[in-house]
Amino acid sequence: MKPDPIRPLLGAATCFIIYWVIWNLLIPLFRFTGGEMVADTLPLLVAAALASVFGMMIFESRSLAETGLDWVSGSGRNLATGVIFGVAGAVLLIAPFLLTGYAHFEHVASADTSWRAVLFLPFLLFCGAAGEEIIFRGFMLQYLMRGYGAWAGILGIGTLFGLMHAGNPGATTLGIVNTAGFGILFGTAVLKTHDLWLPIGMHFGWNITLPFLGVELSGLTIRITEYRLVWNAGDLWSGGKYGPEASLVTTAVLVVLALALWKVPVRRGSAWLLDSPVPPSPES
C-alpha cells in the first residue's frame, strides 16, 4: 500500500486554519485585557498550542508533547544553545554598524524601563517565539516532512513563515525573504534535533536581543531600555521601518548561523512524526 499523498497537506492545512481562526478570535480579547504587546504574543501561543493539539489528535491520535516538546535529557542544553545562537546572531548583526559609526545610540525619555516591564516583556517575547515555533515547526512542518520529505516541508513552511510577516509595518521584499530564511533555519534545527527546544531558543534569543539593542523587531517597536539605535546608513543596510531583519547584513548573518548550526553538537530529542514510519493509505 502506498502512502496517501493528500493526507499530509490536508493535515497541515487543517491545523493552520484552526490556528488562524483561534488566533484572530483571541487578539481583540487579549488587546482589551492586556494591551497591544500582550495581543501580539499570548494569542500566538494559545492558538498554536490548541491547533497543534487538534492536529495531532485528529490525524495521529498523539499528544502535543510528541511534536518535540517533551522535556527530556538534553532539552535544556538545546534550549540554551538556541538562545546563545539567537543572541550572538543579533549582536553580530548590530556590532559592525556601532563599531564603524554607521549607527549610534540615542536616549528615549518616554521608554518604560520599570522592573515590571523588564521582567514582563521577555516573558511575552518568549511566549510569542514559542507560539510561532509550535505552529510553524511543530505538527504542520513535521507532518509535511514525513509526507513529502524533509526539505520540501522545511522550504514550504519557511516560505509561509516569511509571507505571514508581509503585513507587518515597513515590510519589504528583502525583509520577507530574510524572515523566510529564518523559517528555513529554524526548520533545519528541528531536522537536526527532532525537538522544538533548539528553534524556540534561537527564535527567543534573536527576538529579545534586538529590542534590548534599540531596534525594530519585524516592524514592531518594543522599548525595553532608554535607548534606541539611530542609523547613519541607508535602508538597504538598516532595514528601514521593518528593522535590520530587512537588511543585507541579516542575509549574511543567516549564512553564518546556518554554518554554525551545521557544526554545533546537540542532543537528539524525540518527535513522533519524524521518528515514526509513514503510514500507508488503504488500497482502493
Q: For position 3, what pLDDT does the model report?
A: 73
Share of the chain above pLDDT 70, in %: 94
Q: Are 165 and 175 in contact (CB under 8 A)?
A: yes
- Give the position of cell 549610534: 104
3-state SS string over the chain?
A: CCECCCHHHHHHHHHHHHHHHHHHHHHHHHHHHHCHHHHHHHHHHHHHHHHHHHHHHHHHCCCHHHHCCCCCCCHHHHHHHHHHHHHHHHHHHHHHHHHHCCEEEEECCCCCCCHHHHHHHHHHHHHHHHHHHHHHHCHHHHHHHHHHCHHHHHHHHHHHHHHCCCCCCCCCHHHHHHHHHHHHHHHHHHHHHCCCHHHHHHHHHHHHHHHHCCCCECCECCCCCCEEEEECCCHHHHCHHHCHHHCHHHHHHHHHHHHHHHHCCCCCCCCHHHHCCCCECCCC
Render pLDDT for 192-214 as a digit per residue (tens, 0 to 9).
999 999 999 999 999 999 998 99
Instruction: Map out the domains of the chain as residue ranges.
Output: 7-275
Binning pLDDT at 50, 70 and 90, where does residue 282 land? low
Structure pTM? 0.94
How sure is the predictor about 279, in pLDDT bands with cuts at 50, 70 and 90? Answer: low
Using alpha carbons, list the distances in angstroms from residue 276 to 9, 16, 70.
18, 22, 16
Q: How large is the average pLDDT for residues 238-262?
A: 95
Could you report the per-residue pLDDT of 74-117, keeping only the tens digit for each?
Answer: 899 999 999 999 999 999 999 999 999 999 999 887 666 666 66
Q: What's residue 284's pLDDT? A: 44
The pLDDT value given to residue 277: 73
Q: What is the pLDDT of residue 113?
A: 65
pLDDT tens-place string over residues 29-86: 999 998 888 999 999 999 999 999 999 999 999 999 999 999 988 899 999 999 999 9
Identify the pLDDT of residue 55. 97
Would the pLDDT of 11 be above 90?
Answer: yes
Closest CA to 51 of 131, 124, 130, 159: 131
Alpha carbon 12 to chain centroid, angstroms: 17
Q: What is the pLDDT, as a whole number, of residue 209?
A: 95
For residue 216, what pLDDT is reported?
92
